[in-house]
């Protein structure tokens, strides 16, 4: 089953949009549940996004793309 | 802080790579500690001490008042007395208030003491612009520091080199100035350069200080740069390839010592030299590189060398004016075309 990586709704206060500043794993690589995979910046503060499951990473939002809470930024294929 | 990704293709930003190198050295060497403005709970304005305060606490990760003269001077004293401090000058532009501590104390105490006193410290400092932070927060000043004897100077262009150079700098018995470009930190608001975020091994390793890297091999022209300029050069090389020209890109990585051998070997092969530097045009790195190649008796240039550097003006605040002044890939390609038309 494909798992979506979304921006957690409690990652930062308020509903401000953020930007993906770095992917810390290559597109197509295998990642394990709990791995740090990306960084999102909101008003000069950075937040970490972890993989919610184990699988092959498919990046949906590249660096510099704007994201909101709940945005799907990647998928994980088992 | 060790980034907890087990994937073999784990990548780090330069900010994370610097923090990871520092943490790994602090775990094995109790003499290593960090001082600077906002290096503690905030994790550094540029992210390069993130996680360190949580792991090592306020005794070894010390937030300082805004008094660079005092804490850099204190670091020189600590280093002379057997510690291995890593201190941060938040923006290199602030060097004016603390230069005596840097170049009269840090850089010269070993010489003045006849070699009896070692000063094993790392001075890390941010460089560069591109995000409209104006003339007191955007300079590179590579040439200013590389000009003064007594300290090593390194400038990483990617996270792999940043981690290896930081580990090497902390282990070095000489003072090392570690100059990191803000646009390569992976901090978003300072610019995003994907090429700087690369695969980095989890274990500690060193990158030898004083060795340049051939970032791309080529036959027709040598592009020499450092820091963010390496990424401009790689993009220019790609554009030139589409025109049928093969450009070699040299990443200096270290200004002191300067790897003149690698420069000369590359230009001996290509016969053409363009230096790309975000520091000021005159009296700086670009002039030194060209002189180092041209003064060698074996030098055979097929064309007069060129430089794509920052114009000799204070850095403008207005985005359109700043972007006009910065080096970029288009300017490098244009310099190469100009070179061909002249020779």
Please give the domain boundaries of chain B with CATH numbers for all domains. Answer: 11-199 (3.40.50.970), 213-342 (3.40.50.920)
| pLDDT at position B2 | 45
Give φ, ψ of A31 to 5 degrees.
Answer: -125, 155
Residues of B in contact with A22 (CB under 8 A): 11, 13, 186, 192, 197
pLDDT attached to residue B6: 52
Q: Using a CB–CB cutoff of 8 Å, tell me whether B11 touches chain A.
A: yes
DSSP state of B327: -
**Residue A19 β-bridge partners:** A41, A66
Choice among A14-18, B22-26, B56-60, B101-105 with the minimum mean pLDDT: A14-18
**pLDDT tens for residues B118-127?**
999 999 999 9
End-to-end CA distance of chain B: 53
Neighbours of B39 (CB within 10 A): 26
State which H helix or E strand residue B310 sits in.
Answer: strand B306-310
Q: What kind and span of H or E run contains B94?
A: none
Nearest residue, CB atoms, A24 vs list B10, B47, B192: B10
State which residue of chain A sits closest to B159, comparing Cα positions.
A24
Strands B32-36 and B61-63 come out as: parallel
Looking only at the bridges linking them, the beta strands covering A72-77 and A55-59 are: antiparallel
Of B7, B13, B189, the CB nearest to A32: B7
Q: Which one of B37, B88, B137, B181 is the catalytic residue?
A: B137
CB of A42 within 8 Å of any CB in chain B? no
Judged against a pLDDT cut of 80, whether residue B292 lies above it is answered with yes
Tens of pLDDT along B6-31? Answer: 556 799 999 999 999 999 999 999 99
Q: How far is A77 from chain B (nearest CA, A)?
A: 15
* Active-site residue (options: B68, B88, B193, B288): B68
What does the alpha-carbon distance between residue A73 and residue A58 come to, in Å, rounded to a whole number? 9
Other residues' Cβ atoms within 10 Å of the Cβ of residue B206: 16
Question: Which domains are present in chain A?
Answer: 3-77 (2.40.50.100)
Whole-number Å distance between alpha carbons of B335 and B318? 25
At residue B192, the pLDDT reads 80
Measured between beta carbons, which residues in chain A are less than 8 angstroms from residue B187?
Answer: 21, 41, 44, 46
- Cα(B286)–Cα(B272) distance, integer angstroms: 14
* pLDDT tops 70 at residue B162: yes
The SS3 assignment for B168 reads helix
The percent of residues above 90 in pLDDT, for chain B, comes to 93
Q: What is the mean pLDDT of residues B336-341?
A: 97
3-class secondary structure, B143: helix
Is B296 an active-site residue? no
Residue A32, Cα to own-chain centre: how many angstroms?
A: 14
B246 touches chain A (CB under 8 A): no
Residue closest to B5 by CA, chosen among A22, A11, A63: A22
Q: How confident is the model at residue B273 (pLDDT cuts 50, 70, 90)?
A: very high
Active site residue B137: yes
Mean pLDDT of A32-45: 91
- pLDDT at residue B1 in the model: 43
The interface pTM score, or ipTM, of the predicted complex is: 0.85
Q: Cα separation of B34 and B41, whole Å?
A: 12
Give the residue from chain B lying closest to A46, CA to CA: B187
Chain A residue closest in CA terms to B188: A21
What does pTM read for this prediction?
A: 0.94
CA-based torsion, B37, B28, A39, B12: positive or negative: positive
Residues A5-18 have pLDDT tens digits of: 999 999 998 889 99
Residues B170, B207 contacting (CB under 8 angstroms): no
């Amino acid at each position: 089953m494909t798992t979506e990586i979304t921006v957690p709704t409690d990652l930062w206060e308020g509903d401000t949009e953020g930007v993906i500043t770095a992917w810390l794993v290559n597109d197509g690589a295998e990642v394990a549940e709990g791995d740090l995979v990306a960084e999102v910046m909101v008003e000069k503060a950075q937040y970490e996004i972890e993989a919610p499951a184990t699988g092959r990473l498919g990046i949906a939002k590249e660096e510099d793309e704007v994201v909101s809470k709940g945005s799907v930024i990647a998928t994980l294929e088992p | 802080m060790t980034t907890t990704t087990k994937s073999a293709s784990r990548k780090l930003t330069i900010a994370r790579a610097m923090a990871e190198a520092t943490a790994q050295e602090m775990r094995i060497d109790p003499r290593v500690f960090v001082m600077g403005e906002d290096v503690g709970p905030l994790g550094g304005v540029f992210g390069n001490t993130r996680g360190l305060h949580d792991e090592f606490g306020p005794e070894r990760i010390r937030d300082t008042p805004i008094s660079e003269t005092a804490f850099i001077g204190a670091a020189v004293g600590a280093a002379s007395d057997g510690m291995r401090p890593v201190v941060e000058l938040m923006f290199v532009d602030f060097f004016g208030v603390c230069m005596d501590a840097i170049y009269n104390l840090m850089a010269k105490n070993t010489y003045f003491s006849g070699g009896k006193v070692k000063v094993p410290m790392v001075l890390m400092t941010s460089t560069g612009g591109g995000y409209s932070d104006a003339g007191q927060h955007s300079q590179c000043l590579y040439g200013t520091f590389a000009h003064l004897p007594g300290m090593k100077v390194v400038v990483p262009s990617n996270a792999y080199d940043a981690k290896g150079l930081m580990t090497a700098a902390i282990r070095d018995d000489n003072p090392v100035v570690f100059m990191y470009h803000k646009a390569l930190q992976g901090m978003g608001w300072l610019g995003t350069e994907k090429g700087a975020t690369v695969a980095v091994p989890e274990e500690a390793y060193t990158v030898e200080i004083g060795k340049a890297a051939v970032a791309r091999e080529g036959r027709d022209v040598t592009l020499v740069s450092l820091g963010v300029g390496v990424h401009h050069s790689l993009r220019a090389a790609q554009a030139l390839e589409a025109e049928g020209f093969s450009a070699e890109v040299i990443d200096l990585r270290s200004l002191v010592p300067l790897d003149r051998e690698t420069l000369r070997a590359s230009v001996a092969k290509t016969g053409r030299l363009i230096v790309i530097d975000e520091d000021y045009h005159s009296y700086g790195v670009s002039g030194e590189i060209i002189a180092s190649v041209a003064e060698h008796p074996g030098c055979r240039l097929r064309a007069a060398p060129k430089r794509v550097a920052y114009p000799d003006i204070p850095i403008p605040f207005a985005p359109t004016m700043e972007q006009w002044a910065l080096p970029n890939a288009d300017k490098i390609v244009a310099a190469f075309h100009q070179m061909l038309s002249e020779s």
